[in-house]
């Protein structure tokens, strides 16, 4: 087998990574998609509680394994070095923006996490390389690692624009739209500083949407709570932008149907045509 040292290093890394995933039985994207479809179909045909519970448990187990078994572990690349080559049609970056102010409960964060996970699986099917950037915010924002993103504790007010500004900073430094397909997913309960809504809208119109393939806003709430009526929701809704989609959820069961609606084949086709 011939090839440059860099190519051989990549090959060995991916071979080791694949062997580790197989040994640990990390679920494939197809496994998760099939489990999600089975659960949706069961609900649609009015299956019994026991069947729904079993299918829900299977999906939760697959998602938990995906979260805990890394795609590429640090041990896979120890003592190896390879340089990525930008390929605009084969790589994407997924920006996850989440409100972590005091009004965001653990239930709301869990809903956001499930949505982000589905988006990642979707993008992995479309692109060979997918980077994830985690940005959390209260009235200030910062890029963090995955564990801090989902589990760190913060307090303070809420300024959505701080997360959008941080996303733009990272994109301009590391992810040029000429080399990357940019996707942004924002999760919040909509409890934003009203004075900040206009700033957020301007950042979307003037800076983010012109460079992004798609921007999804997910408004989360407690079970039974009314969502999709916040001032932030209305400010986004008034834009009428085709690359800005917004949905609201209050339970785990809402996540997959909402995701399917946002990223249906028709939505993807419209996004690809812009």
Domain boundaries, the chain: 5-77, 91-273
What percentage of the chain has pLDDT greater than the value 70? 74
DSSP H/E element including 261: helix 252-262
Angle between helices 29-44 and 252-262 (to 10 degrees): 110
Instruction: Please tell me the predicted confidence (pLDDT) of residue 101.
Output: 87
pLDDT of 209 higher than 60 = yes
Query: How far is residue 215's CA from residue 144's CA, in Å, rounded to a whole number?
Result: 20
Cβ-proximal residues to 124 (8 Å cutoff; 6+ apart), any chain: 29, 130
pLDDT score at 3: 45
Cα separation, 173 vs 178, in Å, equals 13
Query: How far from the centroid of its chain's Cα atoms is residue 29's Cα?
Result: 15
Q: Is the pLDDT of residue 80 over 80?
A: no
pLDDT at 94: 94
Per-residue pLDDT, 91? 92
Mean pLDDT across the chain = 78
Q: Tokens for 2, please give them.
A: 């011939």
Going by C-alpha positions, the residue among 274, 84, 260 that lies closest to residue 182 is 274
Torsion of CA 43, 49, 54, 60, to 10 degrees: 60
Q: Lowest mean pLDDT: which of 5-14, 62-71, 96-105, 136-145?
A: 5-14
Q: What pLDDT score does 25 carry? A: 55
Q: Return the higher-pLDDT residue of 62 and 203.
A: 203
Report strand pairing: 141-144 vs 129-137.
antiparallel
pLDDT of residue 218: 93
Q: Give me 70's structure tokens.
A: 């890394």
Distance CA 208, CA 183 (A): 10
Residue 67 has pLDDT above 90, yes or no: no
Answer yes or no: is pLDDT of 175 > 80: yes
**pLDDT digits over 109-149, tens only?**
899 999 999 889 889 888 999 999 999 998 899 999 988 88
The CA angle 187-146-242, to the nearest 5 degrees, is: 30
Which of 60, 48, 119 has its CA nearest to residue 253?
60
Give the pLDDT band (50/70/90) at residue 173: very high
Average pLDDT, integer, range 93-120: 91
What is the homologous superfamily of the domain 91-273 according to CATH? von Willebrand factor, type A domain (3.40.50.410)
Task: Work out the average pLDDT over 208-229.
Answer: 87
Q: Taking CA 131 as the corner, what is the angle to CA 126 and CA 136, rounded to the nearest 5 degrees?
A: 120
Q: Tell me how far apart the alpha carbons of residues 13 and 9 are, in angstroms, rounded to a whole number.
A: 6
Residue 52, pLDDT score: 80
Q: Residue 47 pLDDT more than 70? A: yes
User: Percentage of residues in the chain with pLDDT exceeding 90?
Assistant: 32
pLDDT at 167: 97
């Amino acid at each position: 087998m011939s090839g440059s040292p860099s190519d051989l290093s990549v090959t060995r890394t991916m071979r080791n990574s694949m062997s580790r995933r197989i040994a640990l039985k990390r679920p494939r994207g197809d496994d998760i998609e099939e489990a999600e479809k089975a659960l949706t179909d069961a609900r649609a045909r009015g299956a019994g509680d026991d069947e729904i519970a079993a299918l829900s448990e299977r999906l939760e187990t697959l998602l938990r394994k995906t979260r805990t078994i890394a795609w590429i572990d640090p041990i896979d690349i120890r003592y190896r070095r390879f340089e990525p080559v930008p390929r605009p049609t084969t790589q994407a970056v997924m920006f996850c923006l989440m409100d972590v102010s005091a009004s965001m409960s653990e239930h709301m964060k869990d809903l956001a996490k499930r949505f982000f996970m589905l988006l990642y699986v979707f993008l992995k099917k479309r692109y060979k390389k997918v980077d994830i950037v985690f940005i959390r915010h209260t009235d200030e924002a910062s890029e963090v690692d995955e564990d801090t993103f989902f589990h760190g504790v913060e307090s303070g007010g809420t300024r959505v624009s701080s997360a959008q500004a941080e996303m733009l900073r990272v994109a301009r430094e590391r992810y040029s739209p000429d080399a990357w397909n940019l996707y942004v997913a924002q999760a919040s309960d909509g409890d934003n500083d009203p004075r900040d809504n206009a700033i957020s809208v301007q950042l979307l119109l003037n800076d983010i949407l012109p460079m992004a393939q798609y921007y999804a806003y997910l408004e989360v709430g407690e079970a039974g709570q009314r969502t999709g009526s916040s001032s932030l929701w209305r400010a986004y809704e008034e834009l009428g932008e085709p690359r800005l989609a917004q949905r609201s959820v209050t339970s785990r069961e809402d996540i997959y149907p909402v995701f399917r609606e946002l990223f249906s084949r028709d939505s993807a086709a419209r996004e690809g045509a812009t």
